[in-house]
């Protein structure tokens, strides 16, 4: 938080809600510690390789289900063949609390059962191009949690990867939920602002983002 006045919550599109400063400092520290463990394994955090030969600038580790472009599996055959870490119960609770906060809808929150989390780490130069989250077989909302350096999060429309879009500054502790008519909106991260995070989170530099999702795939 680098502003004098609290940042207001906003809704850049129907079904998309930004809640600034939702995670308190203790929660942020706990999440950084958990992400650090997941980054070690059983499937280590890596730069995801794209089918056409490119490599993503962010580093990613998954929990619950392993994502590779463009499908989910339990085993990370594109990394080391290991089965991904279990999706912990507390992370599901956090997801339900996030949906309750964003939509102020207890029934929608109670029904929300995320079974995967993608953990992305951005160094100062990493970006993410405009894309849709569409490898899930469920239209349930995506819950996004940010820790560390501030980024520009570009939230667009469901039709094109271009305008109209809204640029939102996601700071450490911010919650962003997109569901309903915005579930398949294009979005991306054109810029991270190095040095804006507070090292007290446990993250000396860079940005962490967790997206909780419902894969719609059969469990265990």
Ligand X SMILES: O=C(O)CCC(=O)C(=O)O
Q: For residues 78 and 133, which CB has a smaller minimum distance to Fe ion in the complex?
A: 133
Half-sphere exposure of 108 (CA within 13 A, CB side): 17
Draw the binding track, 135-174, toward Fe ion (x: CB under 5 A; -: no contact). Answer: ----------------------------------------
**CA 95, 97, 99, 102 torsion: positive or negative?**
negative
Annotated binding residue at 187?
yes
Annotated binding residue at 18?
no
Draw the binding track, 100-139, toward ligand X (x: CB under 6 A; -: no contact). Answer: ------------------x-x-------x----x------
CA 213-217-220 angle, 5° bins: 105
198 binds, among Fe ion, ligand X, none (CB under 5 to 8 A by kind): none
38 binds, among ligand X, Fe ion, none (CB under 5 to 8 A by kind): none
How many chain residues bind ligand X (CB under 6 A)?
A: 10
144 binds, among ligand X, Fe ion, none (CB under 5 to 8 A by kind): ligand X
The span from the CA of 147 to the CA of 145, in Å, is 7
Q: For residues 133 and 198, which CB has a smaller minimum distance to Fe ion in the complex?
A: 133
Decide: is 61 part of the binding site for ligand X (CB under 6 A): no
Decide: is 144 part of the binding site for ligand X (CB under 6 A): yes
Q: For residues 109 and 168, which CB has a smaller minimum distance to ligand X in the complex?
A: 168
Binder among 116, 150, 157, 211 for ligand X (CB under 6 A): 211
Decide: is 209 part of the binding site for ligand X (CB under 6 A): yes
Annotated binding residue at 24?
no
CA 99-105-109 angle, 5° bins: 40
128 binds, among ligand X, Fe ion, none (CB under 5 to 8 A by kind): ligand X
């Amino acid at each position: 938080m680098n502003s004098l006045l609290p940042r207001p919550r906003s809704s850049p599109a129907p079904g998309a809600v930004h809640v600034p400063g939702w995670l308190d400092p203790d929660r942020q520290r706990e999440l950084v510690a958990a992400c650090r463990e997941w980054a070690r394994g059983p499937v280590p955090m890596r730069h995801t390789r794209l089918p056409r030969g490119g490599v993503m600038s962010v580093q990613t580790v998954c929990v619950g289900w392993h994502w590779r472009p463009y499908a989910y599996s339990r085993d990370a055959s594109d990394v080391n063949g290991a089965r991904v870490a279990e999706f912990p119960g507390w992370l599901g609770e956090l997801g339900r609390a996030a949906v309750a906060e964003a939509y102020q809808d207890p029934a929608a929150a109670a029904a929300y059962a995320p079974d995967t989390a993608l953990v992305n780490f951005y160094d100062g130069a990493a970006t993410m191009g405009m894309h849709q989250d569409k490898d899930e077989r469920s239209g349930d909302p995506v819950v996004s949690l940010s820790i560390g350096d501030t980024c520009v999060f570009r939230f667009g429309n469901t039709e094109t990867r271009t305008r109209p879009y809204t640029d939102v500054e996601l700071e450490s502790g911010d919650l962003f939920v997109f569901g309903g008519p915005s579930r398949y909106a294009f979005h991306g991260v054109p810029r991270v602002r190095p040095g804006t995070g507070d090292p007290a989170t446990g993250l000396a530099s860079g940005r962490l983002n967790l997206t909780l999702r419902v894969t719609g795939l059969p469990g265990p």
